[in-house]
Structure 1
Amino acid sequence: MASRNPARPLSPHLQVYKWGPHMLVSILHRVTGSGMATVGSLLLVWWLAAIAAGDQAYATFVDVFTTDTGGLNILGYIVAVGLTLSLFQHMMTGIRHMVLDIGAGYELKRNKMGALATMVASVALTIVFWLYMGIK
């Protein structure tokens, strides 16, 4: 039977670390990647199935996300803006990881600023994108 040795070192856990933006960005990178893959795949499959099923099924798909005037309804905005924000957040953290991979940005202050910059840039890019698209 294994004995409990109190001198044995413990694995670091969330309670040991001080929460910081670098941790949030790491988690956001994984969540946005998984979210885009899941939501994007489901929408693609639904869209393809609607096209294959005929005009009525495709009209139902379009009606879920748009209004009568052709603009997005509230569900359409939530899905579209959410996917856009996810795309830009994932892209910005990917660029940050490329910088880290070349060995730059590991200093604590620079790492924290880089993490914050990814979040600010992703929100700014999302706003600029939707302003460019001319929100209806």
Structure 2
Amino acid sequence: MSSSNRTRPLSPHLTIWRWGPHMAVSIVHRVCGSGLATVGAILLVWWLVAAASGEAAYNAFTNLFTVSSGKLNAFGYLFGIGLTWTLFQHMGSGIRHFFLDVGANYELKSNKMSAQATFVFSVVATVLVWGYIIGVKG
């Protein structure tokens, strides 16, 4: 086939499309899903190895993610908050994609609003969950 055939239409390029929240939520949904699967698998294996290795290894694992000796472990809390936000963001955008799959919510205004709502939902749900967790422990 000749490379000089100019009658074929060109594929749309990123310079044609305007960036919007619907594109961002789709990309973040994929990143969150991959991250949850990867981090979840790593944490599960790490937890199983720590549990099988004895009390000292298991205590080292749990001390990283919990309050130990009355001392707050900032890494564990930040990691937990990030993982919780990722879960809620993935869940919110998954519900949004479910409505898109059944043919609803393709109007531009409502599509943009639902994309923005996934980010608001994930932040609010994370704040509520961690507010409860810290309130119960505090």
TM score, norm. by length of structure 1: 0.90
The runs of at least 4 aligned residues of structure 1 exceeding 6 Å deviation read: none
Aligned to 1:30: 30
Q: Please report how far the alpha carbon of residue 55 of structure 1 lies from its aligned counterpart in structure 2 after TM superposition.
A: 0.9
Equivalent position amino acid for 1:60 in 2: A
Output the CA distance in 2 between the equivalents of 1:104 and 1:90: 19
Distance, in Å, in 2 between the alignment partners of 1:71 and 1:120 is 31
Write the mapping of 1:89-108 to structure 2, written as runs, cut at 5 A. 89-108=89-108
| Offset at residue 7 of structure 1 (A) | 3.6
CA distance in 2, matches of 1:8, 1:69: 69
The CA RMSD measured in Å over matched residues stands at: 1.7
- Residue pair 1:65, 1:72 contacting (<8 A) in 2 also: no
Specify the alignment match of 2:60 in structure 1.
Answer: 60
With normalisation by structure 2, the TM-score equals 0.89
Residue 127 in structure 1 maps to residue 127 in structure 2: yes
Unpaired stretches in structure 2, ≥5 consecutive residues: none
Aligned mates of 2:100, 2:26 — CA distance in 1: 12
Contact 1:36/1:87 (<8 A) preserved: yes
Aligned-residue offset at 1:90: 0.6
Residue type matched to 2:52 in 1? A
Match of 1:6? 6
Give the C-alpha shift of residue 50 in structure 1: 0.3
**Residue segments in structure 1 that go unaligned for 5+ positions in a row:** none
Q: CA deviation at 1:95?
A: 0.9
**Worse-superposed segment, 65-74 or 76-85:** 65-74
